[in-house]
Every structure is written in structure tokens, then in C-alpha cells.
Amino acid sequence: MKNLLITLSLACSAGLAFAHGCPKEMAAIDARMATNPKLSDADKAKVQKLRADGEAAHKAGKHDDSMKLLAEAKKTLGI
């Protein structure tokens, strides 16, 4: 029983860590976009959509999805 509680506590902690990582990733994307990076119009639109979708996933509690979307946006931005 004790091991089960410890395992559940650790699993919940990991979820919270990802939940708190989403805003940090969004801020990094926003900061990079504020520098007006040299991107094609298509890539800018892609980054903006991925960023918006990542925020929506974060707000919906889908933090794994959010982190994947935000990572793809960062990759397109070269960060």
C-alpha cells in the first residue's frame, strides 16, 4: 500500500512538472517571435498555429500534447 501511494505521488508530480513547463515554452516562443526572425510567411503561420494549439492543449490539461506542439514550434524557430 505504501509503495502504491509513493508511485502515485511520483506520477502526479511528473504531470505537474510538465504542466508548469508549458508556459515556459510558450514564453520562449513569444520572445523569439518578438525578435522578428527571418522566416517565410508559411513558417510564421505554422509557428503561430502550433503556439496557439499548444496553449489550447495546455488549458485543456493535455500537457503532453502541448509540449509536443510547442517543441515543434521551437524547432521551426531554431530554438
Average pLDDT over residues 16-26: 74
Residue 17 contacts residue 67 (beta carbons within 8 Å): no
Single-letter residue type at 77: L
**pTM for this structure?**
0.74
Domains annotated for the chain, with CATH where assigned, are 2-77 (1.20.1270)
In this predicted model, what pLDDT tens digit does every residue of 60-74 receive, in sequence order? 999 999 999 999 999
Long-range Cβ contacts of 49-52 (<8 Å, 24+ apart) = 50/76, 51/26
**Residue 56's CB: how many other CB atoms inside 10 A?**
13
pLDDT at 53: 98
Residue 23 one-letter amino acid:
P
> Apex CA 58: angle with CA 50 and CA 19, to 5°?
125
Mean of pLDDT values over 10-14:
54
Query: Which tens digits make up the pLDDT trace of 37-58?
Result: 999 999 999 999 999 999 999 9
